[in-house]
Structure 1
Amino acid sequence: MTKIKIVTDSSCIIPEERRKEVEIYTISLSIMIDGVIYADQNELDPFDFMTMMSNSKTLPKTSQPPIGEFVELYDKLGEDGSEIISIHLTEKLSGTVNTAKQAAQLSQSSVTVIDSDYIDQGLGFQVYQAAKMAKEQKYSVSEIVEAVEYVKEHTQLYIGVATLENLVKGGRIGKLVGAVSGFLNMKLLMQLKDGELEVVSKGRGNKTFIKWAKELESKLSNMSIEYLGMSEASGVEICEEMKTIFKQALPNLTLPIVHTTPLVATHTGKGAFAVMFYTD
């Protein structure tokens, strides 16, 4: 069977213990902060970035990879006759997936592009599933795409933000809500659904997040959870607290907490976290 290679972008997060099991090719989105462009996120220490972002007078700007980089990567990966599946963050947050689709038309390789409708580990769930199946070299592109779609349909992703400043500046949420949050120390819990952010709950202080976590824990007990991961942007303390809560329902799962990428942190702001899971 023809070899299949998996491509994603730098918004994708897969915990190290899973990532080292599979082969994945990553194309990087660039970030500009304080007038300096970082073409590869590996040039930025994610923890240093949080400090840089806090000290910056303007919101960092992210840019999708140039179409030429996609074409070059696709052509190189397909030189040996391999087919390619390219899975990317939701088009609602970036034009990356559309650039990938255009590049697929220009490439000499056979490329299938998928909009994950997610970001961070939510995207990572789909990429890992595809890479795991590709590694076995017994599945066709259509079979892997079908499995990826299944993971997508059974994924839930929730984002908690401590401040709405970055979301407001980035045009991701209404400015009125942002203004109210700034005065009332309001915390916002949202769900990323079909590529759109929908408000789930809001309130003052972290008790809003803990209350939601306890409500989710009661639901998780009745669900067949395949994997649950958490990501944070200087929000590790609240994640650790929620992990203790979720462990009551999921004692046999690892529940990893990872620091998110500069790209995601730019959208969510300091103190944010995300909880993502999918069912089998």
Structure 2
Amino acid sequence: MANVKIVTDSSAQLSEEEINNLGITVVPLSVMIDETVYVDGETITREDFVKKMLTADNLPKTSQPPVGKFVDAFNRLGEDGSPVLCICMMEGLSGTVNAAKQAGTLSSSNVTVIDSGNIDRGLAFQVIKAGQMALEGNSIDEILSELEKVKVHTKMFMGVMTLDNIVKGGRLHPFVGAVTNLLNIKIILSVYNGDLKIKSKLRGMKSMKKYCFNALDKLKQDESLSSVAISYVNSTDFISELADQVKQSFSDIPFLYRVTSPVVSTHAGEGAFALYYLENY
């Protein structure tokens, strides 16, 4: 029987090496900046997107891949009889998983689509495990069972420095956003039950640094981590410092430090970052 083929969307924080070595198919999202549409990873890099976002007249608009792109990918991958497993970013941030599910019903292949309940590197942890297990010849049911464990042992927190993009996107009342920015409030978000929720509100950059380095000190005492990553919108001195500390503290496990995807950048805004880690289990 042919091996399971793994598909994900371009919000997954994967290195080119991981994509190639594990045979992952990535379906790209699109983004529109000031009436110009770009395809994530094809007609615009993540770095160029951030530059354009920070100088754009309006907040960029992101959109899930067309259903037809998923159908084409599913049909091609399943042409030899291979079952297809598609792992998408959380539904709370994008309709991508719904587009993939619709495509699964239209495809001639045997397709299973799941909501990872996570984003960025948190999504990637599941995709990587699925890719490894697929290469080993495991079934979709076996892979899905293992991904439930990966979900439980994936931890993250995201630091949001300004609420400007959240206000522009209509997720927060302008008055609340203005007051929050005036008071220099920073937000810590985390994933709860497949959605991003506020974990903490901090007053000023000093409090943000204290929170992050205290969290890092606690992580240093945890010898059960298998992977760690920092994703960011645009590099700042603080994020670079945090990355250096993480790299030094966990030099014996994989560490990925990279610009996040356009969909996360659009929602999180300038200066935002996220720390992800996967516990051994």
Q: What residue is the counterpart of 2:263 in the other structure?
A: 263
Q: For the Cα contact (< 8 Å) 1:239–1:257, is it kept in 2?
A: no
Q: Distance in 1 between matches of 2:204 and 2:172?
A: 20
Where do 5+ consecutive residues of structure 2 fail to align?
none
Matched AA of 2:46:
P
Moved more, 182-191 or 79-88: 182-191
Q: Distance in 2 between matches of 1:45 and 1:247?
A: 25
Q: What residue is the counterpart of 1:158 in the other structure?
A: 157
- Over residues 189-247 of structure 1, what are the superposed CA-to-partner deviations in whole Å (9 max), with x where a residue is unaligned? 11122232222222333322321222222332135111110001113532332234445
Q: For the Cα contact (< 8 Å) 2:226–2:254, is it kept in 1?
A: no
Evaluate the alpha carbon distance shift between residue 171 and residue 158 of structure 1 in structure 2; reply closer, same or farther with a 3 A threshold. Answer: farther
Identity %: 43
Superposition pairs of residues 75-154 of structure 1, within 5 angstroms = 75-137=75-137, 139-154=138-153
Q: For the Cα contact (< 8 Å) 1:166–1:268, is it kept in 2?
A: yes
Aligned length: 279
- Mapped pair 1:181 → 2:180: yes
Evaluate the alpha carbon distance shift between residue 248 and residue 26 of structure 1 in structure 2; reply closer, same or farther with a 3 A threshold. Answer: closer
Q: How big is the shift at 1:46?
A: 2.0
**3-state secondary structure, aligned to 2:274:** strand
Evaluate the alpha carbon distance shift between residue 123 and residue 172 of structure 1 in structure 2; reply closer, same or farther with a 3 A threshold. Answer: farther
Q: How big is the shift at 1:173?
A: 4.5
Moved more, 194-203 or 119-128: 194-203
Q: Distance in 1 between matches of 2:248 and 2:25?
A: 36
Q: What residue is the counterpart of 1:33 in the other structure?
A: 33
Q: How big is the shift at 1:271?
A: 0.9
Q: How big is the shift at 1:26?
A: 1.0
Moved more, 270-279 or 253-262: 253-262
Moved more, 229-238 or 205-214: 205-214
Q: Distance in 1 between matches of 2:237 and 2:21?
A: 29
Matched AA of 1:164:
L
**3-state secondary structure, aligned to 1:256:** strand
Q: Distance in 2 between matches of 1:146 and 1:174?
A: 41
Q: Distance in 1 between matches of 2:41 and 2:170?
A: 23
Q: For the Cα contact (< 8 Å) 2:2–2:80, is it kept in 1?
A: no
Matched AA of 1:14:
L
Q: What residue is the counterpart of 1:44 in the other structure?
A: 44
Matched AA of 2:217:
S
Q: Distance in 2 between matches of 1:279 and 1:241?
A: 23
Q: Distance in 1 between matches of 2:271 and 2:130?
A: 31
Evaluate the alpha carbon distance shift between residue 216 and residue 173 of structure 1 in structure 2; reply closer, same or farther with a 3 A threshold. Answer: farther
Q: What residue is the counterpart of 2:207 in the other structure?
A: 208
- Mapped pair 1:8 → 2:11: no
Moved more, 159-168 or 188-197: 188-197
Q: What residue is the counterpart of 1:19 in the other structure?
A: 19
Q: Distance in 1 between matches of 2:277 and 2:261?
A: 18
Q: For the Cα contact (< 8 Å) 2:166–2:172, is it kept in 1?
A: yes
- Over residues 13-69 of structure 1, what are the superposed CA-to-partner deviations in whole Å (9 max), with x where a residue is unaligned? 113443342111011111111101113442112222222112212110011112122
Q: Distance in 2 between matches of 1:74 and 1:118?
A: 22
Matched AA of 1:226:
S
Evaluate the alpha carbon distance shift between residue 195 and residue 88 of structure 1 in structure 2; reply closer, same or farther with a 3 A threshold. Answer: same
**3-state secondary structure, aligned to 1:42:** coil
Q: Distance in 2 between matches of 1:77 and 1:20?
A: 15
Q: For the Cα contact (< 8 Å) 1:29–1:65, is it kept in 2?
A: yes
Moved more, 40-49 or 145-154: 40-49
CA RMSD of aligned residues (A): 1.9
Evaluate the alpha carbon distance shift between residue 66 and residue 13 of structure 1 in structure 2; reply closer, same or farther with a 3 A threshold. Answer: same
**3-state secondary structure, aligned to 2:230:** strand
